[in-house]
Structure 1
C-alpha cells in the first residue's frame, strides 16, 4: 500500500551526509512493511535483523562495537555479502538489544556509506531508559504514523480523487459527483482508521466484523504491552488513563482532567503513566497556548492539555461506537462526532509534519488548532457539521491579526475574509490538502 514516507526514505537514501535512520511509530503502524518494500525496490540485497527473541543475534553486539566485525559476523550468520550502496541492513525490534542502539554511533562514524535502518515497537519508551546509551547527533530520525486519509483514499483505489482535488480552486463549488464519494470515504475512514492491517482487511472484504476483529486484537495487544513493558506500579494507572480517553474527548470542554480518570487521583499520581502512553505513541497531548506568539512551543502551558488517540479507527473501536451509528449519523454519534472530527484533523496535521497547539480564552472562546507556518500563526477551526459561524475564530483573527486561517466542516469549499484574515472554508475531507491553500 502506498505510504507518503517512501518519498522521505528515498531522500535519505541519496543524502551525501546520511546517518543511520531511526524509524519510530506506534506499534503495528507498518514500520517493518514499509522498510521491506523500500528495500525490495531500491537495493540489490536486504538483511533483516530481528532482535526479538533472538539472543544469538544480540550476542554479536556483546563483545565490542567494532562495526567491521559486527558486519562480518552478520554476513556469516545470514550467508550474504553486505555491500555499501547495494545492501540495506534493517535492525528491527532494536530496543531488545540496547548495544545495537549504541552501535549506531559507530556505524555513523566508521561506516556511514552503509544504509542502516532501525525500528522497534515501543521504541519511544525504550529510549527513555537509563540503560540505553543513545547516540545523540549520530542518527537521522523519521516518524511513521497510521495511514492518513489521503493514503486511505489511494488504498481504496481512488487515486483519481487525489488527482482531482490536488489543485482544486477555492472559488469552484465541489459538485456531488466528487463530494459524495469523499464524504463516504471519510465515514469509512472514521470506522476503519489507518492501521495498515485493518485497512488491508477492509479493502479485501468490506466486512465491518472482520475490521472490528482486527481492531480489537490491536487494542488487546496494546493492553498486553502495558503489562509487559511498563513498570509494574504504573500498569493500573496506564489502563485507567487509556480507558478514560474516549469519554474525556466526548466532553464539551475536553480538557484532560486527572480526577476524571480515577476519583481522588491527581496529576502527580498519574503523570508518569500518561507520559508512558505518550512515549509509546498511543496518545498525543495537545497543549494550550493562551498567548499565540512565535515560537508557539515557548508559550505552551504543559499543565493544560487535551489527549487524543493516534488512530481515529481505534478511537471508534475503543468508544464502542457501532459502524452503522456513524454511517446513518444516529443520535448516539452526536456525542462523539466532534471528538472524531478533531482527532481526525489532528492526525492529518501531524501526518503533514505540523505540530499544533490549541488556544482558549477563559471559558468563552477556543480555537481547535493553531500552528506555525513560515513564521506566522495559522488558526484552524473544526466543526463536525455545517455550522461555520465561529465566533471564537472571528475573535481570534481580530485580536491577533493573523493573515491566514482555515475552517473545516461539512460545508462546501469557499474563500472569504474574516476581519483581515484570508480564510479558506474546506470540507473535512480536504484536511490533507490544506497546504495547497495559502
Structure 2
C-alpha cells in the first residue's frame, strides 16, 4: 500500500525550484512529518537523517561547527563518505533541540544552495527565543496536518471513489457511498498511525491503543516546555478537559477548574504552539480581510476529530449512525469541517473563523466563513430545514452579495431563497464530506449565482 500525502507534490516543486531555501516542516507531533521526508528521500542519491532528540552528538556537532562546511565535513566523515556527488537531501529532525542548528539554516541557503535541506520540529516555537538570529527570509515553511478525507480515501486505495469525489458537481449516485466512508473517517480520524493500523489490520480493535499512545506523547511533551510545576498542572488539566468542552468557551474556571482567566489563557496559547489544539476566534467581517476578534470568546478545536471521538468515548456509537450531526449536539461534524478547512493552510499558520453579530437586542452566529476571490461566504453546518437559518439570513442581509453554503447530510443541490428581510440569495447545499473541495464549489457557486 502506498500512503500518499498531498504534501508530496509540494516537496517535488520545492526540490525543483531554482531559488530553493531550506524547508521547515511544521505541525504537531505524530502528523507524519518524518515519514513524509523519509518517503521523499527516494528521489535523491544521498540521504542523511539527523534526529537531534535521539542522537545528541549531532547537537554537539552543530555547536562546535564553525560554519556549514565544517559541519558537512563531520557529516561526511561519520558516514564514511569522501565527497558529495549527485543530489543530496539532509533532514534535520527535532531541530528545536539545537538553537544553533536553526541559526545555521540561513547559511545552508547562502553557502550551499546545491543541497536540499529539510528541518522539522514539533516544539520549535519554544526554542526560537534561544536563537540569536532566526533566519527570516532564508527558509520556507510548510504546515502538515492530519490526513484529510481525500487522503483517507487514497490511503485505502479508493482511487475510483476519489476521482468521483473530485468531480464538480458530485454525481448523486456517489453520495451514499461517500457518506459510508465519511462515517468511517469520523470514527477513525486522520492521525497517520491510526489510519495505517486500521488499514493493515482491517479492524477497529487495535485503534484505542494507538490513540492512547499518541495522547500520552502529548502529555509527556508538557515536561519539555512547562517551566514550573504549576504550569505543568494547568497544561495537563486543560489537555484532559478540552475534549468535553463544546461550543464557545471562557477562560475563567475553564472545565470546572480553579485556574484564573489569565492562567488558562496563557496555558491555551502554549498548547496552541504545540499544535495539539487551536482556539478558533469569531469575526464580524462581511468583506475582506477576515480579521479574528480575539477579544470575544473562542471555540476550542483539537488537532484531530478521531482523537476527539476517542477521548469522548463515543466511537462505538458512531458506527451505526446515519447522520453524525446528531452526535454531541452536532459538534463532531462541525469539528471535522473546521479541521478540514484548517488543513488548507499549508504555507502559513492560518486558522478558520466563525461569524458573529452581537448587540443588545439579538445575536447571531454562523459556523464558519470562507473567502473566495473578493467574497466572504457564510458556511452553515445544519441538518434541519432551510427555514431555521436565522443567523445565515442576518449575514446575507448585511453582506454585499447573496451567496451562502450549507453542509448537511444530503445530496448536492442549489436553491434560491429570500431572507426574512426580503433579500434574495443563492444557497448551495453540500454533503458534509465535501469541505475539502470548498474552493472548487465556491467558484461553482459564484458562476451559478452571478453576483456581479
TM over 0.5: yes
Per-residue deviation, 1:199: 0.3
1:238 aligns with 2:235: yes
Q: Distance in 1 between matches of 2:8 and 2:336?
A: 22
1:255 aligns with 2:249: yes
Matching residue of 1:376 = 375
Q: Distance in 1 between matches of 2:83 and 2:194?
A: 35
Q: In the TM superposition, what whole-angstrom CA distance separates every residue of 1:111-167 from its partner, at most 9, and x where no partner exists?
A: 12211000023223333x345642111100000001111100111121211111312
Per-residue deviation, 1:372: 2.5
1:212 aligns with 2:208: yes
Q: Distance in 1 between matches of 2:78 and 2:13?
A: 30
Q: In the TM superposition, what whole-angstrom CA distance separates every residue of 1:39-77 from its partner, at most 9, and x where no partner exists?
A: 11x211211111113232112112244111111111111
- Structure 2 portions without partners, runs of 5+: 418-422, 444-452
Per-residue deviation, 1:351: 1.6
The 3 A distance-change label for structure 1 pair 361 and 85 is farther
1:342 aligns with 2:330: no
Matching residue of 1:146 = 146
The 3 A distance-change label for structure 1 pair 138 and 131 is closer
Q: In the TM superposition, what whole-angstrom CA distance separates every residue of 1:202-243 from its partner, at most 9, and x where no partner exists?
A: 111232220111001111111111123322231111122212
Per-residue deviation, 1:377: 0.9
Matching residue of 2:284 = 290
Question: What does 1:131-210 align with in structure 2 at a 5 Å threshold?
Answer: 133-169=133-169, 174-175=172-173, 178-210=174-206
RMSD between aligned residues: 2.3
1:272 aligns with 2:271: no
The 3 A distance-change label for structure 1 pair 420 and 23 is farther
Q: Is the 8 A contact 1:287 1:300 kept in 2?
A: yes
Matching residue of 2:47 = 46
1:114 aligns with 2:107: no
Q: Distance in 2 between matches of 1:162 and 1:333?
A: 23
Per-residue deviation, 1:375: 3.0
Q: Is the 8 A contact 2:103 2:131 kept in 1?
A: no
Matching residue of 2:4 = 2
The 3 A distance-change label for structure 1 pair 39 and 183 is same
Provide the aligned length of Structure 1 versus Structure 2.
Answer: 426
Q: In the TM superposition, what whole-angstrom CA distance separates every residue of 1:343-400 from its partner, at most 9, and x where no partner exists?
A: 11111112222732111123632111113222321211112x3544422112211211
Q: Distance in 2 between matches of 1:113 and 1:147?
A: 32
Alignment partner of 1:48: what SS? strand
Alignment partner of 2:169: what SS? coil
